[in-house]
Structure 1
């Protein structure tokens, strides 16, 4: 039988630039059956096995292309939903072993792990308007407020509240909730197939298969389509840094280190008990570049958040002195991974204009969001882990300690221009005994809720796009756990309703006011007024739009003292009015705090742990 690979396919594969490998590899439904292809250059023989041939590796052997190491076969009489695996042997006398298809479009529900033949064609998309406007909607000057979601634990159903919602049910429950809350995007923790629930999806065995926990691939297409038709962008967590050691997966795929490094000093990510992709192999580059292309092409994904970028950039990440070797220049930079990340960003932005890429990068690596042609990594945004750590460290201090450390609030603006930032209050901050956001501050319960209202107002007022993990928006009181639903009954209580109303209003303010999103990185968009020193722990700043007259004034009282007669600032000719007070009874506060005076004699008074947002009255009346 002739190979099903064309000469151009072979050349593309050998160059490591085959970003459409997903249309060549795996199981492709064709007119007269299914065409199979798998990369296993060191195998002695490979067969397709399944229920159709009684899992007998002698009946459907594959043919090897020596140039690429790809094995191919066409099998008639099988179609969608056929179960299959690849049977590999390393020698004529060696025992065979089974592997799931790395490129499978669908897989069995765990703990089963067979691949499924699936035809992705035929879904009727209805998101043309969104796709046409995506580039404008996701530009740097537009608001981006992201709701981070773990689909298995956002909300559940059933008598014992322990059944998953399907992709289609999520479309009809999650999307209205996100819209009503005012978020612009959802970010899905990894939805590629994974066998172990407590990995949260970050240990992937089916990189091309939306997890079957919630339905089939076209059900997931339906979810994305409905998001787009309701004006919501979809960002997906993507994990190209490491993969698990499950026997059916990528590890030792053809009995040799194929997808992982052969070098033991580069092979293992010990923090997570996983293997590191060998970015120097063209077959691995094809697999990962094609995977990124696949999600954006086949599922209309609007952004990819790349997990654990720091672990990819450094050869010595989480390793002792004897556990790593320097690169050819004597440094600790992982040159092959850096090249891969640059190539990924170039490819994805070329093929899908308007797509966003995000780096979860926790170090001071320079140029994460600098374009590749200027020697950067080429991401659109970097998670601002420094801001997040400083802010949460500050909010956990007692009131007396806060007055001694105002730099935790002021320092992040010193480097705000260095990258395009997302401010992340992610899932990582509410697990492993870190406490939910509402309990991070000290004091009694009313003070903790007041601190949370203050924290969220600072979050929306500070330059940078926004990301909030599910449950934070209504003050979830338990640490997040992947095996249960959020505690939605909390919304029966006034304080939790108040937090939800505040987040809804902050999202609306963030989207409506250009001062809060137009000039995130531009120094003209921010001006400090009070730095938490003259009045201990009281900060104020201006956020400005491209039109300097269109600005907002934030005043934040992180102290446990009432603030009286606090000057609004020397803004001659501007008369201000309060447009948001976190102590409003509507938000669960005491209904205290206010503004008085005219012109240069304007002042505010504030309760402890509260925030005010003010706006010139003339702008209010004009709009």
Structure 2
């Protein structure tokens, strides 16, 4: 008789609960511990700075309300963090620039905070001043680290802080919600925004350029070079005074008026913020504020950026975290900026600053060569910014492809809303430089413009200010070069100009129409601004000739610039025909590298490209949803400088095919001229 045995149940192992970033990308599983480690590091620092959640991060980021010079009901109060200092005096117009005990600060704690209280009559609005800082073995003339107004003497070129206490600016547009459907960014620089060979102003930008931005259809401006910088030619990337709006362009109130008007016009305003490094200058900047060159910056080999000739912040110090987080909050609260494009994020993420690294596989992002302090700072900055304004926008300029940068913090990401799709301009440059027109592959173009992480939104662009600087070339110059000077008048174009105009439009259309977040254009590039950007310097005789924007070119109906400008406007309007365009899936319909044909759809819009330089196609068919379609944009239209070979007034009806009845698809047959693109909308 068989003996019955008691069956034993094998306990199931609990399912592994992966962090969101890994759930979305299984290839990150080997690095989940590192991802969690960075996430936990940020949580730990958040608890430290918020007293274990008893306060908010925004309460911590109030340094600008404490430090610096402030007018109170009892007079003036000045504070500075300078732990290595032995004495601090304020000198300025108010005391004939001479030290005296009345203007001598007192050290108030062991942390190195200094304070000076003065009666109301001790200084007045407009007075210039500096600090005289003493330390063991030395002394220096310095601008306060938290100065909110810094000006340069036109003759001596010396910078000084300035007492700034005007009547408070009265905001006309008190609340504003950014339009992100889609985000269409106009990258701009106030100083070089005018036709005249000079430094433009906030007022001139508000009066002359902002109306153009609105009329062109952009809903966001991204302003460069706002933070004060001693060398104009640095494009604003060598910052000296992080809390001071550059006085080159006008007063803080004039900047506020610009932002106020932008908001009234429905335009979001993003600041290009530089927290990746600081200028080395000691008199103007933070380089050696009080005899300790490492007060704000890393010591040793990590002190200086080897490629930028600048200093690298020590993100591991709470005081530096306080300074930078307060800086974010200051610009949002004081000036109503709607967010930031963080410059140089790659440099922050890696000990190598990303120099000489290939970043070929995921292991390159988790090999111990990353600066966890900087990663923690960027994560907390995003948490803070969205705590101050949940509608705020943050964008990371990052070239290495670090996964999770624009993923949510709860999923193990760093919390940026968008990351720059920096592969796209590199792809276009490489394609234009290295491949003949016959070798342009639609499959490669579609791959490069849509290749991105599913859980991260991007800002796509063909070219930014980077591609317009001396030593590089804009797309229009790569395509046409010197013929822009001699054959860019209507009716006088040669083959090279016709090619350049056609491809300029097609490159922009395929880039803008494949976005999953936003699209960016640098000021003037939309109409093919000629030449390069070269700021005044000794090598060019301090000329402003190439540090301006020649709006007269696009305004002249006799020149081809108007074709490109008009196309850019109509292209943006076309994207807006589809609600939430950036969220609508990009569905490839067809590509054929031999024919150089590409077609895809987004909602009710169908985009068709013929990159062939010589072959036009008649009755080229695509399977699309059954219905009728109207042309809403054609790069080859005469009003955009094209040949006008198609009749765009025709409504295109799909052709029945019994094989595809169940799919509700039929054949859409089109005439597609060489080197052209067309957008159709389903009725």
TM-score of Structure 1 vs Structure 2, range by shorter chain: 0.7 to 0.9
Q: 1:448 matched to which residue of 2?
A: 500
1:433 aligns with 2:471: yes
Q: Mark the runs of 5 or more structure 1 residues left unpaired by the alignment.
A: 1-8, 322-328, 520-524, 545-550, 619-623
Q: 1:189 matched to which residue of 2?
A: 224
CA 95–460 in structure 1, closer or farther in 2 if over 3 Å, else same: closer
2:566 pairs, out of 483, 501, 505, with 501
Mapping of residues 268-307 of structure 1, within 5 Å: 268-307=304-343
Mapping of residues 418-497 of structure 1, within 5 Å: 418-424=455-461, 425-441=463-479, 444-464=496-516, 465-482=518-535, 483=544, 484-491=547-554, 492=556, 493-497=558-562
CA contact (8 A) 1:37 1:72 kept: yes
1:539 aligns with 2:612: no
CA contact (8 A) 2:271 2:339 kept: yes
CA contact (8 A) 2:346 2:398 kept: yes
Q: By how many angstroms is 1:566 displaced?
A: 4.8
Task: Give secondary structure in 1 for the equivalent of 2:242.
Answer: strand
Q: What is the alpha-carbon distance in structure 1 between the residues aligned to residue 627 and residue 233 of structure 2?
A: 54
Q: What is the alpha-carbon distance in structure 1 between the residues aligned to residue 64 and residue 80 of structure 2?
A: 11
Q: By how many angstroms is 1:244 displaced?
A: 0.7
Mapping of residues 58-457 of structure 1, within 5 Å: 58-59=100-101, 60-76=103-119, 77=121, 78-91=123-136, 94-109=137-152, 111-119=157-165, 122-128=168-174, 130-131=175-176, 133-134=177-178, 137-138=179-180, 142-156=181-195, 161-248=196-283, 249-317=285-353, 331-400=368-437, 402-403=439-440, 406-424=443-461, 425-441=463-479, 444-457=496-509
CA deviations 1:206-243 (Å, max 9, x no partner) are: 11111111211111111110111111111110000100
CA 80–200 in structure 1, closer or farther in 2 if over 3 Å, else same: same
Task: Give secondary structure in 2 for the equivalent of 1:56.
Answer: coil
CA contact (8 A) 1:29 1:117 kept: no
Q: 2:586 matched to which residue of 1?
A: 526
Q: 2:636 matched to which residue of 1?
A: 583
Q: Mark the runs of 5 or more structure 2 residues left unpaired by the alignment.
A: 1-48, 358-365, 481-494, 536-543, 656-665
Task: Give secondary structure in 2 for the equivalent of 1:171.
Answer: helix
CA contact (8 A) 1:16 1:286 kept: no
Task: Give secondary structure in 1 for the equivalent of 2:532.
Answer: coil
Q: What is the alpha-carbon distance in structure 2 between the residues aligned to residue 566 and residue 463 of structure 1?
A: 29
Q: By how many angstroms is 1:419 displaced?
A: 1.6
Q: What is the alpha-carbon distance in structure 2 between the residues aligned to residue 572 and residue 186 of structure 1?
A: 37
Q: 1:609 matched to which residue of 2?
A: 675
CA 214–446 in structure 1, closer or farther in 2 if over 3 Å, else same: same
CA contact (8 A) 1:260 1:275 kept: no
Q: By how many angstroms is 1:170 displaced?
A: 1.7
Q: Which moved more, 1:60-69 or 1:345-354?
A: 60-69
Q: Which moved more, 1:472-481 or 1:252-261?
A: 252-261
CA 89–566 in structure 1, closer or farther in 2 if over 3 Å, else same: farther
Q: By how many angstroms is 1:72 displaced?
A: 0.4
Q: 1:22 matched to which residue of 2?
A: 64
Q: What is the alpha-carbon distance in structure 1 between the residues aligned to residue 194 and residue 295 of structure 2?
A: 36
Q: By how many angstroms is 1:333 displaced?
A: 0.7
CA 25–503 in structure 1, closer or farther in 2 if over 3 Å, else same: same
Q: What is the alpha-carbon distance in structure 1 between the residues aligned to residue 677 and residue 149 of structure 2?
A: 49
CA deviations 1:317-357 (Å, max 9, x no partner) are: 25679xxxxxxx97101011011001111111011110000
CA 74–498 in structure 1, closer or farther in 2 if over 3 Å, else same: same
1:567 pairs, out of 613, 620, 626, with 620
Task: Give secondary structure in 2 for the equivalent of 1:423.
Answer: strand
Q: Which moved more, 1:587-596 or 1:189-198?
A: 587-596
CA deviations 1:561-596 (Å, max 9, x no partner) are: 232125342225222221111111101111113576
Q: By how many angstroms is 1:378 displaced?
A: 0.5
- Structure number with greater Rg is 2
Q: What is the alpha-carbon distance in structure 2 between the residues aligned to residue 148 and residue 29 of structure 1?
A: 35
CA 601–531 in structure 1, closer or farther in 2 if over 3 Å, else same: closer
1:517 aligns with 2:582: yes
Q: Which moved more, 1:574-583 or 1:499-508?
A: 574-583
Q: 1:326 matched to which residue of 2?
A: none
Q: What is the alpha-carbon distance in structure 2 between the residues aligned to residue 120 and residue 350 of structure 1?
A: 29
CA 167–414 in structure 1, closer or farther in 2 if over 3 Å, else same: closer
Q: 1:3 matched to which residue of 2?
A: none
CA contact (8 A) 2:298 2:313 kept: no
Q: By how many angstroms is 1:418 displaced?
A: 4.4
Mapping of residues 547-562 of structure 1, within 5 Å: 551-562=604-615
CA contact (8 A) 2:654 2:668 kept: yes
Q: By how many angstroms is 1:55 displaced?
A: 2.0
Q: Which moved more, 1:357-366 or 1:396-405?
A: 396-405
Q: What is the alpha-carbon distance in structure 2 between the residues aligned to residue 206 and residue 555 of structure 1?
A: 49
Q: By how many angstroms is 1:408 displaced?
A: 4.0
Task: Give secondary structure in 2 for the equivalent of 1:570.
Answer: strand
Q: Which moved more, 1:343-352 or 1:510-519?
A: 510-519
Computed over aligned residues only, the root mean square deviation of the Cα atoms, in angstroms, reads 2.5
CA contact (8 A) 1:399 1:558 kept: no
Aligned pair count? 577
